[in-house]
């Protein structure tokens, strides 16, 4: 085969260039420490490295999200801890307010501290994070969750959303809790309407009947009762006079009341209607006493019994009283002839002591004396099943500040506040437990994230980094080849036909 001079020169130059490129590439690898300088160096490894770099970016993003989630949850946990401490102090003040030895001034002093604690709770529930977003407003981070109304009550104006951050490929972590869940969705132990009392009338001896015909007018009926004293005039008319039992004060006109002139032998006095049986005569006396029974609204003191296998009736209960303080408990929707749910109950005879009925988890306080025919309706209020913590504290404070609050009113408000505060503290503690669980998950996820980052870096190093021993050996070998190629080129380039013609 004939080889031209130009071809020989070209082959020699190409060989030198190729060897020089190999040496230069190896030197660049040694200088950078990387085995792969371009995707062409190792296409399969290059694709794998690209995937690993993308994964590394996600891991870095997750790491940042984990730190942000931990900071947010730690701030929420700290705030809820302060709320819990505040509620514990409020509960102590509520217990103090229940002491019978306190004066009105003492209760006002307790109410003053309650007001300060109430303001502190209001501030804590409107806490913000470092970005200026409200912690407990749900998705509406720029909306103040709680506002105080003109009447002193509180209203939640956030939503029920829960902000989350993705901290792993298939794990989103809640980083907030809304105020509705934490502070508003609190079971209200006083979820009952005001007790309705239908008052009866005792009359003795039983030679007449009496009933209340106007509850409003009966408010003016003497609390101790009245005595009707009968006499006969010179013309044979039967006359009676009305006197107060408490002090013997005459309550009717000086001339008395003509029994025989009464229509249907019925006498109406301050909301009470008395019907005579026409046997009354001179020297007779009738004592009429209006029931002084009062009942507190129902208070759920045992949620398990209230919702148990034999639950509190949905329509409520009715207490029906007979003679001498005896009473039975019926379902409010019971038909005539239905048996009582509980029978044989008894009030004591002292109007100054309080009797307590506990029925299927509900406690009712009964004050005063009952009369035959009294009925008390205790009915659940389905629109008042929940009460926020702030409104619980505000209601108690107002009761302590109100000079018109009776001892019974204070007793009922304090009992309700204590039970609802306990419910609120349990709810806050449950939320703190959930936050602790989330923080534990964040710690374990962060450790897993670091392990995956380390493994990712290790795999990238195996694919990308250079084996220096092998590279140096290869560089030495390629340098020898390049030098040999250069020397060969010099010699070959000097060979011509003229050398043989000399």
pLDDT of residue 282: 86
Answer whether residue 393 is part of any domain. Answer: no
Same domain assignment for residues 68 and 184: yes
Structure tokens at 88: 């514990």
Same domain assignment for residues 420 and 379: no
Q: Which domain holds residue 127?
A: 54-188+405-450
pLDDT digits (tens, 9 = 90+) for 142-171: 999 999 999 999 999 999 999 999 888 888
For 19-32, give one letter per residue: b (16+ CB within 10 A) or e: beebbebbeebeee
pLDDT digits (tens, 9 = 90+) for 31-82: 666 666 566 556 766 667 677 677 777 878 888 899 999 999 999 999 999 9
Structure tokens at 204: 């003795």
pLDDT digits (tens, 9 = 90+) for 273-330: 999 987 888 888 999 988 888 899 999 999 999 999 999 999 999 999 988 889 999 9
**CB-based contact 365:354 (threshold 8 Å):** yes
d(CA 129, CA 72): 7
Answer whether residue 419 is part of any domain. Answer: yes
Query: Domain ends where: 275, 290, 305?
Result: 290
Same domain assignment for residues 284 and 373: no
pLDDT at 100 over 60: yes
- CA nearest neighbour of 112 among 396, 436, 431: 396
Answer whether residue 345 is part of any domain. Answer: yes
Same domain assignment for residues 172 and 258: no
pLDDT digits (tens, 9 = 90+) for 110-147: 999 999 999 999 999 999 998 899 999 999 999 999 99
Domain count, the chain: 4
Which residues lie closer than 8 Å to 47 by C-beta, 6 or more apart?
A: none
Residue 465 DSSP one-character state: B
Answer whether residue 455 is part of any domain. Answer: no
Arithmetic mean of pLDDT, 444-457: 83
The percentage of the chain sitting over the pLDDT mark of 70, rounded to a whole number, equals 81
Domain CATH for 80: 1.20.1330.10
pLDDT band with cut points at 50, 70 and 90 for residue 405? confident
Q: How many residues does the chain have?
A: 502
pLDDT digits (tens, 9 = 90+) for 196-242: 788 888 888 877 888 888 888 888 888 888 999 998 888 888 899 99
pLDDT of residue 58: 84
Which residues lie closer than 8 Å to 79 by C-beta, 6 or more apart?
A: 124, 127, 135
pLDDT of residue 327: 95
Predicted model pTM:
0.77
Structure tokens at 404: 């018109």
Q: How far apart are the first and last CA of the chain?
A: 25
Same domain assignment for residues 61 and 89: yes
**CB-based contact 200:321 (threshold 8 Å):** yes
Which residues lie closer than 8 Å to 197 by C-beta, 6 or more apart?
A: 291, 293, 294, 295, 374, 375, 376, 377
Query: Domain ends where: 262, 290, 318?
Result: 290
Helix (H) or strand (E) holding 242: strand 238-244
Same domain assignment for residues 285 and 305: no
Same domain assignment for residues 101 and 214: no
Same domain assignment for residues 177 and 82: yes
**HEC profile of 334-374:** CCCCCCCCEEEEECCCCCCCCEEEEECCEEEEEECCCCCCC
Same domain assignment for residues 96 and 70: yes
Report strand pairing: 326-331 vs 342-346.
antiparallel
Average pLDDT of the chain is 85
């Amino acid at each position: 085969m004939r080889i031209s001079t130009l071809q020989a020169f070209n082959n020699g130059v190409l060989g030198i260039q190729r060897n020089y490129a190999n040496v230069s590439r190896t030197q660049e690898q040694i200088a950078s420490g990387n085995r792969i300088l371009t995707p062409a160096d190792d296409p399969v490894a290059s694709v794998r490295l690209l995937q690993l770099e993308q994964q590394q970016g996600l891991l870095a993003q997750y790491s940042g999200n984990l730190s942000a989630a931990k900071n947010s949850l730690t701030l929420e946990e700290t705030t809820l801890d302060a709320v819990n401490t505040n509620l514990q102090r409020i509960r102590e003040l509520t217990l103090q307010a229940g002491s019978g030895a306190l004066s009105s001034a003492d209760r006002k002093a307790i109410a003053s501290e309650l007001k300060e604690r109430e303001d502190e709770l209001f501030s804590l529930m409107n806490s913000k994070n470092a970005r200026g977003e409200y912690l407990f407003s749900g998705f509406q981070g720029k909306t103040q969750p709680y506002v105080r109304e003109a009447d002193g009550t509180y209203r939640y104006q956030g939503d029920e959303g829960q902000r989350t951050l993705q901290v792993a490929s298939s794990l989103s972590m809640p980083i907030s809790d809304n105020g509705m869940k934490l502070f508003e969705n609190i079971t209200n132990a006083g979820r009952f309407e005001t007790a309705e009392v239908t008052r009866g009338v005792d009359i003795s001896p039983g030679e007449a009947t009496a009933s209340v015909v106007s509850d409003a007018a009966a408010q003016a009926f003497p609390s101790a009762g009245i005595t009707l004293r009968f006499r006969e005039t010179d013309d044979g008319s039967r006359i009676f006079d009305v006197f107060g039992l408490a002090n013997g004060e005459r309550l009717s006109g000086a001339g008395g009341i003509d029994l025989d002139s009464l229509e249907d032998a019925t006498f109406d006095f301050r909301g009470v209607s008395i019907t005579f049986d026409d046997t009354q005569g001179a020297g007779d006396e009738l004592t009429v006493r209006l029931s002084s029974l009062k009942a507190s609204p129902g208070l759920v003191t045992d949620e398990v019994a209230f919702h148990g296998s034999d639950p509190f009736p949905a329509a409520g209960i009715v207490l029906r009283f007979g003679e001498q303080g005896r009473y039975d408990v019926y379902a409010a929707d019971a038909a005539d002839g239905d048996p009582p749910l509980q029978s044989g109950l008894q009030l004591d005879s002292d109007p100054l002591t309080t009797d307590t009925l506990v029925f299927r988890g509900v406690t009712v306080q009964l004050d005063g004396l009952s009369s035959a025919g009294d009925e008390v309706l205790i009915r659940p209020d389905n629109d008042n099943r929940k009460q926020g913590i702030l409104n619980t504290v505000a209601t108690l404070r107002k009761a302590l500040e109100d000079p018109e609050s009776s001892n019974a009113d204070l007793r009922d408000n304090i009992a309700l506040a204590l039970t609802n505060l306990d419910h609120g503290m349990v709810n806050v503690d449950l939320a703190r437990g959930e936050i602790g669980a989330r923080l534990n998950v964040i710690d374990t996820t962060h450790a897993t994230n670091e392990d995956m980052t380390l493994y990712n870096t290790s795999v990238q190093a195996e694919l990308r980094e250079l084996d220096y021993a092998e590279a140096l050996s290869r560089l030495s070998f390629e340098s020898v080849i390049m030098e040999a190629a250069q020397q060969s080129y010099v010699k070959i380039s000097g060979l011509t036909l003229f050398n043989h013609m000399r």
